[in-house]
Amino acid sequence: MAKYLNQNPVLVAVDCIIFGYDGENLKLLLIKRAIEPEKNKWSLMGGFIGENENLDGAAQRILLELTGLHDVYLEQLHAYGTPDRDPIERTISVAYFALIDINKYNKQLNDQYHAEWFKLKEVPKLIFDHDRMVVAAMNKIRYQAALHPILFELLPKKFTIPQLQALYEQVYDSPIDNRNFIRKITASGLLIKQPEKDKSSSRRGAFYFKLDKQKHKAQFQSFLSLTIKPK
């Protein structure tokens, strides 16, 4: 069949803003760009879309290449298309953000990209419009996490409530009252208490919890207000 006439095709890339949490700090996974231009500058992990791939699939592939992880929480963020955003050739980029358990990643480290985790407040200048993307991703996560229980994606299967609270505090960059936090979280019914404690960060130890995946799935679409309302 005929093609559309007089149109100019462009490259389409996918860039991933990858968040991880180590139980203490919220971090971003960055790579050293391997090709010119801006070779060896810090960059988001990205790649061009394949011929038989859809956008989500490309994002999954890119994440797999960098981290070795399947089944990662991925969400489309925004498409960026300023004509000169890539100086070499016109490229539309569809940005995705990912939330991963940083410890899982560590086991399957793939180092060909010189990837490094940066604390959010210590993220270096990035190439092209990647800084904008990171800011947008952070805003979106704050938005989403205020309404849906997405932050569990950043935690290991077993986690403690103090860990969870610290994560929320990092995301919103503000302190949370622990009594109110515990009440809200337990009232949500999303957590299942485990018999064991994590003794690594206190003498007394904190009970582990697991996420009730049934309820998590069921409640995901219901708007929750798990924390602070973002201003």
Contacted by 9, from DNA, its own copies, none: CB < 5 to 8 Å by type? its own copies
**107 vs 229, which CB is nearer to DNA?**
229
Q: Which residues ranging from 132 to 191 are in contact with its own copies (CB under 8 A)?
A: 146
Asked if 118 contacts 28 with a C-beta cutoff of 8 angstroms, the reply is yes
Kindly state the smallest distance separating residue 112's Cβ from its own copies, in Å. Answer: 19
Q: How many residues bind its own copies (CB under 8 A)?
A: 41
Give the C-alpha separation, 139 to 172, whole Å: 10
Establish if 194 lies at the interface with DNA (CB under 7 A).
Answer: no
Q: Which residues ranging from 147 to 176 are in contact with DNA (CB under 7 A)?
A: 160-162
Give the C-alpha separation, 24 to 164, whole Å: 10
Select the residue interacting with its own copies from 22, 38, 53, 212 (CB under 8 A). 53
Establish if 184 lies at the interface with DNA (CB under 7 A).
Answer: yes
Q: Which residues ranging from 197 to 226 are in contact with DNA (CB under 7 A)?
A: 197, 199, 201-207, 225
| Sign of the dihedral defined by the CA atoms of residues 86, 53, 105, 156, in that order | positive
76-112 burial, b if ≥16 CB within 10 A, otherwise e?
A: ebeebeeeebbeeeebbbbbbbbbbbbeebeeeeeee
Q: Which residues ranging from 64 to 93 are in contact with DNA (CB under 7 A)?
A: none
Q: Where are the beta strands (DSSP E) in 167-228?
A: 191-198, 206-211
Asked if 42 contacts 124 with a C-beta cutoff of 8 angstroms, the reply is yes
Q: Which residues ranging from 69 to 128 are in contact with its own copies (CB under 8 A)?
A: 76, 78-83, 87-92, 94
Does residue 43 sit in helix, strand or coil?
A: strand
- CB atoms < 10 A from the CB of 55, how many? 14
Q: Which stretch binds its own copies (CB under 8 A): 7-15, 22-30, 108-116, 150-158?
A: 7-15
Backbone angles phi, psi at 8, to 5 degrees: -110, 115
Note the residues at the interface with DNA (CB under 7 A): 160-162, 177-180, 182-184, 197, 199, 201-207, 225, 228-229
Note the residues at the interface with its own copies (CB under 8 A): 1-4, 7-12, 36-37, 48-49, 51-55, 58, 76, 78-83, 87-92, 94, 146, 221-223, 229-231
